[in-house]
Amino acid sequence: MTELCFAEFAKCLQSGIQPPNDDKDVVGLLLSWITDMPGVADKKGNPVNIAPSLVSDLLKRKVDVPKAIKNACTTKKVVTEAIKHCTANVIPYLNPILSDDMFEAMGKAVEADTIIAIKKKKELTALLKNGKEAEFLGQMLIYIINRENRVSNSSIVSDDIPLLAEADYECPLCHAPLVDYVKNTPVKKYEVIKIYPDDISAVVSEFDPIPKPKKIDAPGNRIVLCRDHAEEYMVEPTAEDYFRLREIKDRLSSTYSLRVDINDATLEDEIQNVLYGLAGITDDTELEELSLDALRLDQKILPENRLLKNDETTRVLRYYNFIDNLFSAMDRDGTGDFDLIASEIEVAYKKLDTGQLSQDEIVEQLAEWIKNKSGVGNRNMRACHIVVAYFIQNCEVFREIPK
Ligand SMILES: [Zn+2]
């Protein structure tokens, strides 16, 4: 057990309990006594169904424990009920050979957790130490239901970038940003969902008149949503939501044509040529100081330049690490000097930033400048644009928009 979350707790319990102990058995054992309580209902007033898709999504940490269950787990009374439940339905069925390992793993997870309150940590540790196993499990269960189950920060998968760009990097339902930056590293705040869902066993009748797409995995059936909206749809898809998402998707894909080349293998070679070309810079100009807190793209490009922002974001997400690694390699083997190149680009930018040119025009001019400096031909213009995007993200190109 590596983390205090529902999925890890369920899997740990699974390792110490007698069969039947499949995923659905264990999740059912932990949650169905709550879903059976009167008043625990989803947003339509129906009982919460622990469907196979929910079991699988919970254990994969794709979704959080359903809100209806969380809401039922906020009182002292429910803790007492949980202890009773564990006394009657969990403790008698533990595997006596493996249950000590299981409890030890749970205790270590509590010990290692950095979020849990010290008081709670002490309380749980004491229960375990004093052999109060049912109380420990009951307390843990309610605590863990209240914690976030979804995997928090994770990095962006490059396959998702076209879908992100299509949605303009915001949730089409609530406009929440889908990419966040932690110390300048892009972090995933979205899920890709299938518009026609994989598993419609719980809602077959609602989806009855809707034809299933031929390729359910194709990009045409996928859309990016913020975590909350994605989860809502994954757990409880309705025909109404389906039509809404379908309409949004059709609108997004018709307005967004993939202007940016993001899956082009030759581009990496071209970028490399551009950088090696730039490495030849030998101007004796004074080095410009680089700003320590580099600003990010979204702080620098004016909101009215939406398309430019979208294109540059897409390029940065796709090629940022590639360019970063190339620069590191060049610095290491002495073939190029990042600081010198960055400083030159800043000088070039300052010459262009006289208030006469739009941001679009500055980007064009800088790409042109990079092309000339690196001695590559017009064929490498896209690569030059990507290098500009990298410097927008990383360095001095464009000042922060005045607030
Ligand atoms: Zn949303």
Is the predicted pLDDT of residue 173 greater than 90, yes or no?
yes
Average pLDDT over every residue of 41-63: 89
Cα of 222 vs centre of ligand 1, distance in Å, is 15
Residue 226 vs residues 76, 181, 185, 204: alpha-carbon distances, Å: 32, 15, 18, 25
Is the predicted pLDDT of residue 7 greater than 70, yes or no?
yes
Phi–psi pair at 31, nearest 5 degrees: -115, -25
Is the predicted pLDDT of residue 190 greater than 50, yes or no?
yes
pLDDT tens, residue by residue, 290-313: 443 444 566 666 777 777 777 777
Cα of 69 vs centre of ligand 1, distance in Å, is 21
Cα of 226 vs centre of ligand 1, distance in Å, is 4
Q: How far apart are CA 185 and CA 20, in angstroms?
A: 44
Cα of 220 vs centre of ligand 1, distance in Å, is 19
Considering the entire predicted model, what is its pTM?
0.54
Cα of 40 vs centre of ligand 1, distance in Å, is 24
Cα of 369 vs centre of ligand 1, distance in Å, is 40
Average pLDDT over every residue of 172-196: 85
Q: How far apart are CA 291 and CA 295, in angstroms?
A: 9
Cα of 231 vs centre of ligand 1, distance in Å, is 10
Which position has the higher pLDDT, 387 or 130? 130
Q: Are 185 and 156 in contact (CB under 8 A)?
A: no
Average pLDDT over every residue of 275-295: 53
Cα of 181 vs centre of ligand 1, distance in Å, is 18
Cα of 89 vs centre of ligand 1, distance in Å, is 39
Cα of 386 vs centre of ligand 1, distance in Å, is 29
Cα of 232 vs centre of ligand 1, distance in Å, is 10
Average pLDDT over every residue of 146-155: 82
Q: Are 63 and 235 in contact (CB under 8 A)?
A: yes
Q: How far apart are CA 144 and CA 227, in angstroms?
A: 19
Is the predicted pLDDT of residue 227 greater than 70, yes or no?
yes
Cα of 11 vs centre of ligand 1, distance in Å, is 30
Predicted local distance difference test score (pLDDT) of residue 184: 61
Predicted local distance difference test score (pLDDT) of residue 267: 67
Cα of 230 vs centre of ligand 1, distance in Å, is 7
Lowest mean pLDDT among 52-56, 59-63, 169-173, 381-385: 381-385
Cα of 178 vs centre of ligand 1, distance in Å, is 9
pLDDT tens, residue by residue, 331-390: 887 777 777 888 888 888 888 877 788 878 888 888 888 888 887 877 778 788 888 888
Q: How far apart are CA 297 and CA 311, in angstroms?
A: 11
Predicted local distance difference test score (pLDDT) of residue 331: 80
Predicted local distance difference test score (pLDDT) of residue 373: 81
Cα of 173 vs centre of ligand 1, distance in Å, is 5
Residues contacting 119, CB < 8 A, separation 6+: none
Q: How far apart are CA 369 and CA 278, in angstroms?
A: 10
| Mean of per-residue pLDDT scores for the chain | 83
Q: How far apart are CA 265 and CA 319, in angstroms?
A: 11
Is the predicted pLDDT of residue 208 greater than 60, yes or no?
yes
Cα of 241 vs centre of ligand 1, distance in Å, is 13
Sign, CA torsion 87/92/97/102: negative
Cα of 224 vs centre of ligand 1, distance in Å, is 9
Is the predicted pLDDT of residue 257 greater than 90, yes or no?
no
The residues that bridge with 307 in the sheet, in sequence order, are none
Cα of 71 vs centre of ligand 1, distance in Å, is 21
